[in-house]
Amino acid sequence: MPTEELQQDAARYMMQTYTRQPLSIVRGRGTKVYDLEGREYLDFVGGIAVNILGHGHPDLVQAIQRQAAQLIHTSNLYYTEPQVKLAQILVEHSFADKVFFCNGGAEANEAAIKLARRYSHDRYGAGRFEIVTMKNSFHGRTMATLTATGQDKVQKGYEPLLQGFSYVAFNNQEELERAVTDKTAAIMLEPIQGEGGVHVADREYLKQVRDLCARKDVLLIFDEVQTGMGRTGSLFAYEQLGVQPDIMTLAKGLGGGVPIGACLAIDSVAKAFSPGSHASTFGGNPLACAAGLAVCHALLDGRILDHARRTGEYFAKGLSDCKARHRVVREVRGLGLLQGIELDMDAKTVVSECLARGILINATGEHVLRFVPPLIISEPEIDRLLETLAQIFSAQAS
């Protein structure tokens, strides 16, 4: 089907919840994707931080094929080996003691919110249910998670929102201290605000947040939906930032492209969930968990994480050099292979110019470009992007 006809049918039959690029992707291999007309594109979006092993990774493909031939789905009324094994590997390589599986990031954050409220209710009774989140954050689009999200544009038109959330400035300890009261159950934040413009939490700030939580007996929730699974150069971002949460959420890269999410917690908190208190029909189904296991095995081999760490540093330096040469670049921010640049021009213009040159990138907001390529991206491919950005910025200045 020609791209134009596909776009027309999409407009006719699908709810218009996305602003899509004029591109129909039909296949992928490694760090490249291909459109209906056979054109090749270098992928620095990676399904928005999802395709961490690239496209068509043989271990992931084989794991999905084997599991699909054996058992795709059965109810969580029964045990399945892929689910238990994936939970085991996540627990053994994190701070956590228990895992709940679901279908994606919003569901994982929904589970974290419910778990925090349930834990606080069991421990302190009614009235201690509020969760403090960060301005400019993004936690999902369910009613609870869009309320947790500290962005008006995400919440607009969905009022009245769920009660029990307040928002403070990111990296501002004084404001956070004032916001925590005897009604606060948890503090929820992203180690790096991805959708909010690629803002990295200060290490000292996170230590102060952890200390505050300990003093007030408040839970600390890390939303690692975007930062987890090797994105920052370690399996989880918290490992580099020197602070352990009580609850952590994962999704995106966990399945390498197959939908799966997870909510991890320490044992004393996880006990707040009991049979019937939370559930997900498709959460942790055998196919998704087989994919998750393949991803974990690939990362824990070490080579991909080492590569992501090195290329992340190389990328950050290249973007900093770009800033030094082009006035249009205001700031470079990020960690590992989650990088962003803030511009003095419309970011969507740069997205379109890169698309025309065969490179896929993403804008988050009006002036920020976000780069979340597969973790297997190479230095020559990074160089190609940097050279393309330099051409676009130079043309803008002339």
State the catalytic residues: 138, 223, 252
The span from the CA of 168 to the CA of 175, in Å, is: 6
Say if residues 30 and 55 touch (Cβ distance below 8 Å). Answer: yes
Produce one character per residue of 136-172: b if its CB has 16 or more CB atoms within 10 Å, e if not. bbbbbeeebbbbbbbbeebeeeeeeeeebbebbebbe
